[in-house]
A and B are shown apart, each in its own frame.
Chain A
Amino acid sequence: MSVRKRFAKVDWPVFLLVLGLCGVGLMNIFSGTRVLTSSGIPLYSKQIVWILLGVGVFLLLCFMGGGLIEEWAPHLFLAAVAILLVVLLTGKIRGGAQRWLSIGFFNVQPSEFAKIALVLALARYFSGRYTYEGIGFRDLLPALGITLVPFLLVALQPDLGTAGVFLIILAAMMMIACLRLRVFLLVGAAGAALVPCLWFVMKDYQKQRVLTFLDPGRDPLGAGYHVIQSKIAVGSGGIFGKGYLQGTQGSLRFLPEQHTDFAFAIFSEEWGFAGSVVLLLLFLALIYRMFYLASRSQDRFASFACGGIASYFLAHIVINIAMVCGLFPVVGIPLPFVSYGGSSMLTNMISLGILANLSRTRFTFQPGE
């Protein structure tokens, strides 16, 4: 296949949407961090480096040979589990949790990469078990096991937000993989019954966050304060926003982690409801395109993997924005492409690279290839 043909088969809508979102994110990080008195390289230029690296990784993965991803899925998964173990044992304590691993001059958050590994492992597993009658309970158990290992490792860090995303990935992929309805409901009910048990394993500060979410007045000085300030930022944006670089909540630094987890608050304060709608539409288009690619595929592994990737993007976007709007407890889940962060940027780009690769090589049935 010629290079031209290769390029023609890349899913350009996804790539262009991502570039657009990265641009929005970059602009927003500039606005959100301009008042931070940090020395050294400004965060937006770091983010540019991350974006360039990410695009590189995207293209690399995209043009990689077909089939390799499926073949590597189990190894990737084992590697991810091993790294999570290392983090748990030796991880640097940052932000109250052992989530980071120092590699040379920068820190990575392996739990981000574990999400991809989980999606691929589950896709590989389900594609081998797929039947028209739907997957039964017995065939589901190994999938539960595959999910629980990284889930527990991340939950112990403790990073319940990310661990929760693992469960969402599992649920979405169970659905795509045509689990029998009865089994799906049964597992769902059992999972729901286990939620209260979580309360007992949560750390004090995590309980605090949940309680604060239920009653923000409870702790107006701590966690509740952040949520209230974040809501003020969003609400004061109005219909058309205060204008770029005109946000006051952000520039006065009312907001915690305004360039990472609360980036959306800065955005919607400055661009208002109109801007938020546009951003949400961009995200929705991306998600729709990803699901569309998943359904169009005639290859089950590709279908499941793309569906899984789409679901975890969906989970990130919805949880993050809901958190900023005070609809969800404060958890450390970034907004894809908009929040500052290298691990998150690379993971997102890797996921999309994989998606693009699968769509390029596996989607249409080509006799004689």
Chain B
Amino acid sequence: MKERIRKREQDPWITSRIRILQGIALTLFFLLLGRLYWLQVVKYEEFRTLSENNRIRIRVVRAPRGVILDRRGRPIAETQPSFDLIVTPVDVKAIEGELQLLSEVLEFDAGEIREKIIRGQDANPYRSITIARDLQFEQVSVIEFNREALPGFSVQVEAKRSYPLGPEFAHVLGYVGEVSEQELAAGRGRRLSLGDIVGKYGLEKARDDVLRGENGGRQVEVDAAGRDKRLVTEVPPRTGATVQTTLDADIQKVAHDAMAKKAGAAIAMNPKTGDILAFVSAPAFNPNSFSQGIRKNEWAALVANPRTPLQNKGLQGTYAPGSTVKPFLALTALETGVQKPNAQVLCEGSFPLGNRTFRCWKEKGHGMVDMYKAIVQSCDVYFYTLGLKLDPDQVASLERGAGLGVLTGVDLPGEKSGLIPDTYWKQEVMKGRWHSYESVLLGIGQGAIHVTPLGMLASYGAIATGGQVMRPRLVSRMVHMDGTAEDLPPVVERNLSWDPANVAIIRRALAGVVNDYGTGGAARLPGIEVGGKTGTAQIVTVKGKMIKSEDLPYDIRDHAWFVGFAPVPDPEICVVVMVEHGGHGGSAAAPVVKAMMEEYFRLKQFDGKGGGG
């Protein structure tokens, strides 16, 4: 080791500085001793009393969740009092015996509750835990009657989430439930504690941070049996924010009723603002069942249901769009100048390509068709030829711009994008070359393409506005816990540079679908011009002859679409309906759209200036 040069005499400077530090140490120790003297000698009596009578218990008072309103201010999610069974772990004398006794009154999983109590004991045994919610009056009386045999347990009134309209808003509002361990672990800083109720799905989840209030608590002194004797301190809970949605309970009800017994989705939106007026996914479930902890058999039934009631088909279900994409092919043709609107195509009922034959839905053929007639009659042959003519990448790019196959950005969790195939996707994902038959199939919205009903709605919203794609939204205003109001303005997602003349041609044709003896006649409204498009998405191809969809078994029947807007000159409502295995769009989906629009315009009469809210 290289010896460093160092001074080798004691340094008086250093010594004196260290003396100062020793002095500081001594002072600090005297301060601590003084404090200990104060606590242990002077205040001894006070603290001894506190410690001996350590009968202070903490009762958590859970904050009620904020109310959710529809656009007319009617509550669609609120809170109700509920009798909950709570336990203070430290007061439990004989856990097994007490659980045994309780199991005679309540229906619960003793193992789960035992674990909860033990966990609470480790965290803070003086803090109450909720172990059963929403007890019946009879149960409450039995428990109260047996107080002496159930030390540690008591009944407390707490706020419970309730949805006055039951399953109607199931998928859009979602449901709440007790916070899970994963959520607790991931949610530090989100003021979460064991036993809290959090949004699990839908808007309840998306806006959980504002809807959930701030828990309060009471420190109470209890007697030997654990009964509250005296309130020591109290911190009142703070109710969560009030959330004003764009939803309309009346239209929602009409949509829900019209979709009863069907599976699928029905969504209505104001294309100018992106305001979602109604959002139904069928079949639904009752979100109230979740608020007090769903029963096992009820949950099992929901999970086992082949029509997947727990899936929001509006934004998580993806389906082949069928003929509903035809207007976008037509628009691509117009925008790129590939085909003029008046160009005629002969439809003889089928279209040969190589050694394959693609059929038109109309076996006899449509004869000579131009663009207007092709959309109105939904002629397949016209769009086979057009699909073949167009560059698939240009079609894909226009469709994605409109909102198909991309996320709309709606404020609900779990949205899926679907897929618009193009040559890049074919090469990178499928490792293959783009075949011409794929272009042909693309013309009628079959093949690899699949989209969500919400994406479909957004894309027709773009046609309705002439190229302005709004982000669908559910919340227009929030009044926070501290009383401040926050308005959420509509968000323009994209502005597309479509030629207004071209959009007008498409809109005229869509009006023709409904009003000019087209496929969507079932959506016609008296006095209001409705425009829209039917779609029938094939599940399987039945070789040989044409079979009516209604004659097929349910699960291979076609999906039915109808998407449209009204009034055509200046659309203010845009509706999409998709019925799983519903058969033809014109017959299965269009009437639902009609009912929803009818309700919208009926309500508008009462609103005076329209719009509502």
Contacts and interface: CB of A to CB of B under 8 A. Distances in A.
B233 A217 contact: yes
**8 pairs of A and B residues whose beta carbons are closest in the complex:** A235-B47, A236-B51, A273-B40, A221-B217, A295-B18, A235-B39, A236-B47, A295-B15
B219 A221 contact: yes
A235 B44 contact: yes
A225 interface: yes
B interface: dominant SS: helix
A325 B35 contact: yes
A322 interface: yes
A253 B120 CA distance: 12
B604 interface: no
Interface in B95-109: none
Contacts of A178: 13-14, 17
A204 B189 contact: yes
B303 interface: no
B19 A284 contact: no
A252 B125 contact: yes
A280 interface: yes
B125 A288 contact: no
A296 interface: yes
A307 interface: yes
A331 interface: no
Nearest to B18: A295
Interface string B47-69: 11011101000101000000000
B26 interface: yes
A34 interface: no
Interface string B5-31: 011111101110111111011101101
B552 interface: no
Interface residues of A, number: 66
B219 A234 contact: no
A296 B14 CA distance: 9
Contact of A221 (B7, B26, B58): B58
Interface of B: 1, 4, 6-11, 13-15, 17-22, 24-26, 28-29, 31-33, 35-37, 39-41, 43-44, 46-48, 50-52, 54, 58, 60, 90, 118, 121-122, 124-127, 188-189, 217, 219, 233, 235
A231 B39 contact: yes
A172 B40 contact: no
B440 to A, nearest CB: 53
B233 to A, nearest CB: 5
A132 interface: yes
A205 interface: yes
Contacts of B52: 236, 248
26 contacts: A68-B1, A70-B4, A172-B21, A175-B20, A176-B14, A205-B188, A220-B235, A221-B60, A225-B58, A231-B39, A232-B50, A234-B36, A234-B40, A234-B47, A239-B40, A252-B125, A268-B40, A284-B29, A288-B22, A291-B22, A294-B18, A295-B18, A300-B6, A301-B6, A327-B35, A365-B8
B47 A231 contact: yes
Interface in A241-300: 248-249, 252-254, 256, 268, 272-273, 276-277, 280, 283-284, 287-288, 291, 294-300
Contacts of B36: 234, 268, 273, 276-277, 280, 325
Given A239-B44, A273-B36, A284-B25, A132 B13 contact: yes
A248 B50 CA distance: 11
